[in-house]
């Protein structure tokens, strides 16, 4: 069993949103590239390496900035939102500026401090069972605030809490120590806030850059490639590549399905097809339906099949006519309000 059509469709909408935003910002005119005299001066040293690979240095600089924007969009928009779609979860921030700090006991705080010191000086190795015994305790010592912590993905079940912090596959040096400390205090705080439930707190990496296969992974090799990876984290605390996406969805081969969705939309004709879909006059054509099928837009195909019913129920109701005539995308974002309004007409 694979992903459900509603989840596939939502992921497809995200793909379209990311692609549209990057097409809108693509540096097309090299004459309008930003002035970057220091970059250009340093890049002269690499003239031989860049020869026959880069036509214009100013364009190369702008393209590098554009690529950085794509990386940000994929990391902060795509990965996180796909994770929420797959898991039906949310982002939780137990910080002074958001939901407020949770509390732990002074003894828990002291135990966590000792664990971090011993991991840092390598007098102990990561051991999830032993660490949990030290922080999952019920004692009457003084209550203190846990440090700020968040989880990019958070969901609550009857018997457990699952929290996942999504990270770049190339974390900064020293970052793993901070993540471990945050997760230990986060687990201790969640243990107090949600009594009787098992607490699972992971750090997740969306793919394994050390593997040759797109969906392949080798956790041992990957953790060796990260500064402090094995020093602070047990392998069972790490979700890597396909393991992460399958955990989120509860379905096998999810990463492969996500890549399939992206590949069905991401091609050289993307903007041409996008413009075709947002043109109201094209809705009755077979090409329009074909693009909807290619892009996994199941809801809009169903609306087209019920177009006569929708128009009959709209009648002369002005606001519904306006909704019907709206574009299905606005600046790359899918119009869920339009879809739901028309869908309700079919079902009413």
Cα torsion 75, 76, 81, 83 to 10°: value is 50
pLDDT of 44-67, one tens digit each? 878 888 888 877 777 787 878 888
- Taking the C-alpha atoms of residue 243 and residue 222, their distance in angstroms, rounded to an integer, is 13
Candidates 84, 93, 95, 117; CA nearest to 10 is 84
Candidates 82, 56, 68; CA nearest to 25 is 68
Tell me, yes or no, whether 117 and 239 share the same domain: yes
- Taking the C-alpha atoms of residue 163 and residue 203, their distance in angstroms, rounded to an integer, is 9
269: phi then psi, degrees, rounded to nearest 5? -95, 10
Region at 218 (left for phi over 0; alpha for psi -120 to 50; beta for the rest): beta
| pLDDT at res. 71 | 86
Which of 1-10, 69-78, 163-172 has the lowest average pLDDT?
A: 69-78
Is 105 in a helix, a strand, or coil? Answer: strand
Query: Of 206, 228, 259, which residue constitutes the final position of a domain?
Result: 259
Range(s) of the domain holding residue 181: 90-259
Q: 205 - beta bridge partners?
A: 240
Tell me, yes or no, whether 125 and 193 share the same domain: yes
Q: Which two tokens stand for residue 229?
A: 């990876």
Which of 66-80, 101-115, 279-293, 332-346 has the lowest average pLDDT?
A: 66-80
Query: Of 58, 85, 112, which residue constitutes the final position of a domain?
Result: 85
Tell me, yes or no, whether 70 and 46 share the same domain: yes
Tell me, yes or no, whether 224 and 211 share the same domain: yes
Query: Of 259, 279, 299, which residue constitutes the final position of a domain?
Result: 259
| pLDDT at res. 235 | 96
pLDDT of 201-241, one tens digit each? 999 999 999 999 999 999 999 999 999 999 999 999 999 99
- Report the DSSP pairing between strands 160-166 and 333-334: unpaired
Is 232 in a helix, a strand, or coil? Answer: helix
| pLDDT at res. 339 | 97
Tell me, yes or no, whether 41 and 23 share the same domain: yes
Do the beta carbons of residue 286 and residue 124 sit within 8 Å? no
Say which residue the tokens 């040759």 belong to.
212
Tell me, yes or no, whether 322 and 209 share the same domain: no
Which of 55-69, 98-112, 195-209 has the lowest average pLDDT?
A: 55-69
The 10 Å CB-count burial string (b at 16+, else e) for 304-340 is: eebeeebeeebeeeeebeebbeeebbeebebbeebbe
Candidates 277, 341, 279; CA nearest to 314 is 341
User: Full-prediction pTM beyond 0.75?
Assistant: yes
Tell me, yes or no, whether 242 and 110 share the same domain: yes
Tell me, yes or no, whether 26 and 133 share the same domain: no
Region at 196 (left for phi over 0; alpha for psi -120 to 50; beta for the rest): left
Q: Which two tokens stand for residue 22?
A: 């990057």
Tell me, yes or no, whether 159 and 103 share the same domain: yes
| pLDDT at res. 30 | 58
Structural domains counted in the chain:
3
Tell me, yes or no, whether 144 and 226 share the same domain: yes
- Taking the C-alpha atoms of residue 63 and residue 41, their distance in angstroms, rounded to an integer, is 17
Tell me, yes or no, whether 168 and 235 share the same domain: yes
- Taking the C-alpha atoms of residue 183 and residue 189, their distance in angstroms, rounded to an integer, is 10
Tell me, yes or no, whether 202 and 239 share the same domain: yes
281: phi then psi, degrees, rounded to nearest 5? -70, -15
Greatest Cα pair distance, the chain, in angstroms, is: 77
């Amino acid at each position: 069993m694979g992903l459900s059509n509603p989840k596939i469709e939502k992921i497809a909408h995200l793909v379209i949103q990311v692609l549209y935003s990057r097409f809108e910002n693509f540096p097309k005119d090299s004459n309008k590239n930003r002035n970057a005299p220091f970059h250009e001066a340093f890049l002269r040293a690499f003239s031989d390496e860049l020869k026959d690979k880069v036509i214009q240095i100013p364009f190369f600089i702008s393209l590098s900035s554009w690529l950085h924007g794509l990386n940000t969009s994929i990391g902060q928009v795509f990965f996180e939102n796909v994770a929420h779609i797959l898991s039906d979860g949310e982002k939780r921030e137990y910080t002074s500026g958001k939901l407020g700090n949770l509390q732990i006991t002074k003894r828990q705080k002291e135990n966590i401090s000792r664990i971090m010191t011993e991991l840092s000086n390598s007098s102990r190795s990561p051991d999830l069972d032993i660490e949990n015994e030290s922080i999952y305790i019920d004692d009457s010592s003084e209550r203190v605030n846990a440090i700020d912590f968040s989880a990019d993905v958070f969901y609550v079940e009857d018997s457990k809490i699952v929290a996942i912090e999504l990270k770049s596959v190339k974390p900064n040096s020293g970052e793993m120590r901070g993540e471990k400390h945050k997760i230990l205090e986060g687990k201790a705080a969640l243990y107090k806030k949600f009594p009787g439930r098992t607490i699972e707190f992971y750090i997740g990496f969306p793919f394994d850059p050390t593997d040759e296969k797109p969906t392949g992974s080798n956790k041992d090799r990957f953790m060796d490639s990260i500064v402090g990876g094995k020093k602070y984290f047990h392998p069972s605390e790490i979700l890597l590549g396909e393991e992460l996406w399958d955990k989120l969805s509860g379905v096998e081969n999810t990463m492969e399905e996500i890549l399939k969705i992206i590949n069905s939309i991401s091609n050289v004709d993307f903007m041409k097809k996008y413009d075709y879909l947002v043109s109201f006059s094209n809705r009755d054509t077979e090409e329009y339906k074909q693009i909807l099928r290619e892009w996994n837009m199941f809801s809009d195909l169903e609306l087209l099949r019920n177009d006569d019913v929708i128009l009959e129920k709209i009648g002369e109701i002005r606001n519904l006519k306006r909704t019907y005539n709206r574009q299905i995308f606005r600046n790359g974002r899918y119009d869920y309000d339009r879809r739901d309004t028309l869908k309700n007409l079919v079902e009413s």
